[in-house]
Structure 1
């Protein structure tokens, strides 16, 4: 199968899997159900993803591809790391509170084995957090921030940005935020992080 054809079919399969996950939960997202919804063979799904856990991992990876690409570009560029975080904050918050991310979180929380949660962390947080920490280290190296340790600054920023918002979304206690709300929350998170760790001569 040509690369572009497979990429298109994978996108269709992932879309079908998300539709089932959002409508019926993890139990309704069987490999057979996804294959039928995507008009693909069950054999294709098992060949490409191995099992349901592999499909779940692929869904998580697809959901975060744009963010990872932006982080990689930010780390490779000469732009200010704080400017990079300013651009990335709304993208990260919108991703983590999106209907797809919330559906993944609900499925992982309902899985008693912990396998879905581990797959979600591997495909998402475990990739993204070190890259944000690297931006924080870059800010320290360039003396845009002072003191502290990059990992702690990263934790502070993510906590201020996300808080318990995704949990509230997962338990149906909060609506999906608007673009304006996302931008405002991202601005506040970066401002407070900067105030906590800014060099005294730049305040």
Structure 2
């Protein structure tokens, strides 16, 4: 049963956010120990409320992953008045948020748990993380890339390929190093630097030549 709370649409009450934060905290602390009873106890709410909002444990896991992914914001752009600088700023902001979320202890714990469950039949967490993590990021960012192409600021044939390239430039080896226990410390300055560099590299690959210089980078 799918979760009944619309997380992706941003329609969450403050109480529902508290519950999802409690679930994320339990995932970091205990991983496999996450239960509806444990979340209800941590969030000081009833199990009946959890079932009403999320349907079942998989629904709760889905909403929890969506809530974590929602912290990566996409600055909306429109075809009218879009220039290279504003497109660069939108992509750079997305990259920075992405790095902050992926490098946080919550995402690292969640991804470790999803990897440990993959192919074991323990739960659908791996599929949930894929659908509501990287695949959701693609659904949110690809329209921005396509608007940039329509505006003549970007040049590419395959939107999926362009997104995967941007993903690789932003994440690089950071995620796998953290998953394997590297104590990689990403400061705000490092995140800002890496986000700008990834966006510069993306424009170098896909920026329309006549507009690439418009970023001023």
Normalised to the residue count of structure 2, the TM-score between the two structures is 0.80
Instruction: Give how far 1:40 is off.
Output: 1.4
Q: Secondary structure at the match of 1:73?
A: coil
- In the other structure, the counterpart of 1:106 is 112
Q: Which of 115, 122, 142 pairs up with 2:131?
A: 122
**Residue range with higher mean Cα deviation, 28-37 or 42-51:** 42-51
2:144 is equivalent to residue 135 of structure 1: yes
- In the other structure, the counterpart of 2:68 is 63
Give the Cα separation in 1 of the matches to 2:19 and 2:92: 33
Give the Cα separation in 1 of the matches to 2:80 and 2:47: 43
Conservation of the 8 A alpha-carbon contact between 2:61 and 2:128: yes
Instruction: Give how far 1:145 is off.
Output: 2.0
Q: Which of 84, 87, 98 pairs up with 2:93?
A: 87
- In the other structure, the counterpart of 1:3 is none
Normalised to the residue count of structure 1, the TM-score between the two structures is 0.85
Paired residues in the alignment total: 195
Give the Cα separation in 2 of the matches to 1:78 and 1:34: 47
- In the other structure, the counterpart of 1:9 is 15
Give the Cα separation in 1 of the matches to 2:77 and 2:210: 26
| CA 147–76 in structure 1, closer or farther in 2 if over 3 Å, else same | closer
2:48 is equivalent to residue 39 of structure 1: no
2:164 is equivalent to residue 159 of structure 1: no
CA RMSD of aligned residues (A): 2.2
Instruction: Give how far 1:120 is off.
Output: 1.6
Q: Secondary structure at the match of 1:146?
A: coil
Conservation of the 8 A alpha-carbon contact between 1:60 and 1:123: yes
Instruction: Give how far 1:194 is off.
Output: 0.9
More helix by share: 1
- In the other structure, the counterpart of 1:186 is 195
Conservation of the 8 A alpha-carbon contact between 1:165 and 1:174: no
Conservation of the 8 A alpha-carbon contact between 1:157 and 1:189: yes
